[in-house]
Amino acid sequence: MTNKMWGGRFAQGPSAIMAEINASIDFDKRLYAQDIAGSKAHAAMLAKQGIITKADATAIRKGLDEVKAEIDAGKFKFSAALEDIHMNVESRLKELIGEPAGRLHTARSRNDQVITDLRLFTRDAIDQLDAGLVDLLRALAEKAEAHAATIMPGFTHLQSAQPITFGHHMLAYVEMLSRDWGRFADARKRLNENPLGSAALAGTSFPIDRAMTTKELGFKSAMRNSLDAVSARDFLLETLAAASICAIHLSRLAEEIVIWSSAQFRFVKLSDKFTTGSSIMPQKRNPDAAELVRAKPGRILGAFMALAVVMKGLPMAYAKDMQEDKQQAFDALDNLALAIAAMAGMVRDLEPNKDILRAAANSGYATATDLADWLVQNVKMPFREAHHVTGRIVALAEKKSCLLSDLSLEEMQAIHSGITKAVFKVLTVEASVASRLSLGGTAPSNVRRESKRWKKFLKGK
């Protein structure tokens, strides 16, 4: 038996294997709201242009509302024999309203229908990610303000480098994730074009009004080339690229939470809300939420790569290969939204261990750079010489197993006679972070100002 929606050309139906590989309803049914919205806009336009009657358009609109209500309520029976969401909706519409349903597909093709649905879906997904990122940015800014003066070690190569503040560290992720926020906003601007009316690939001979459907569906403008409209998937590639970068940023923070919450570091503590236990070791508190966020880039970046490989060699215009654009994209965007929500929860939940952080910041001779800077400013020696002198002083402290501030003035003067007792003012971690007043520096006053600026900017977003 052929498919009654398109099978007039065929004497026989597809084989069972063909039917299975061809059907997409199992995953594209989640486009039903976008599909119905596009169909309602299309029907209204057809009626306005006199292509179908107003009575038919009214029947179509009411029927589509009924179909949507059935799907919303979980009462709709999807059929793999009808292949996809478009055919399933149209078939049920025909059952409900009869002949007028057959006029809905006038002046359009499944090619422009599916890409309209996908652009609407991606736009909705970006809006959801936008809301999630705003919440995460707020959480980070709030944590930064609360810990503007909480001292911790700053690392390079995962080795103690210079003292910083916990708030400054949180603000680093605010900056990173705000760029992700901007990338999604940019992708949304470029994808917000209307392909509906491009039909299969060449446009249509019917006197349609694409400006009307553009307005009805909230698009900024209509796409100006029908070939490009039905075959372009760069908007989804761009969204998945932004998602991949965002997931990588989340993974970096997740990795730090995993490290920081370990018994060896104890920099932060997560509550029971975002940890799990062990089935055999009763003492364990595992940062599973952070570990799962850390893993998400694999599947999200994989979705980008999968679509890139699908698209890389396709000629114009539509090809069935493009049916492979949805499953992994749906999965990637769903998982990114979940990861963002989980990270916002963890950021609000975690509590820094101030004493342990300060002690760690005070180890590893983290104020050595402050000593070198002091020599440049007060003894007027070139930085390279100051670096060398400081290195000798650090070696002495290391030999004595003490902090730089525990060395006597006489011991430091034995290495360079120009050193005075004023040097001790810069050797504490508090003095170190307070001195970093340059734009973007870790000084608590900077952190308070920046966190408040971000909170104000995010208010109402």
C-alpha torsion angle, residues 52, 56, 57, 62 (rounded to 10): -170
Pairing of strands 193-194, 221-222: parallel
Helix, strand, coil percent content, the chain, rounded in steps of 5? 65, 5, 30
Handedness of CA 318, 323, 325, 330 (dihedral sign): positive
Q: Three-class SS of residue 222?
A: strand
Q: Which of 79, 221, 271, 278 is catalytic?
A: 278
Distance CA 39, CA 35 (A): 6
Residue 171: closest CA among 419, 447, 444: 447
In the annotation, is 157 catalytic?
yes
Distance CA 424, CA 372 (A): 12
Q: Using an 8 Å Cβ cutoff, are 151 and 430 in contact?
A: yes
Q: Which of 157, 205, 279, 438 is catalytic?
A: 157
Pairing of strands 193-194, 159-165: unpaired
Tell me if the bond preceding 317 is cis, omega within 30° of 0.
Answer: yes
In the annotation, is 278 catalytic?
yes
Q: Which residues are catalytic?
A: 157, 278
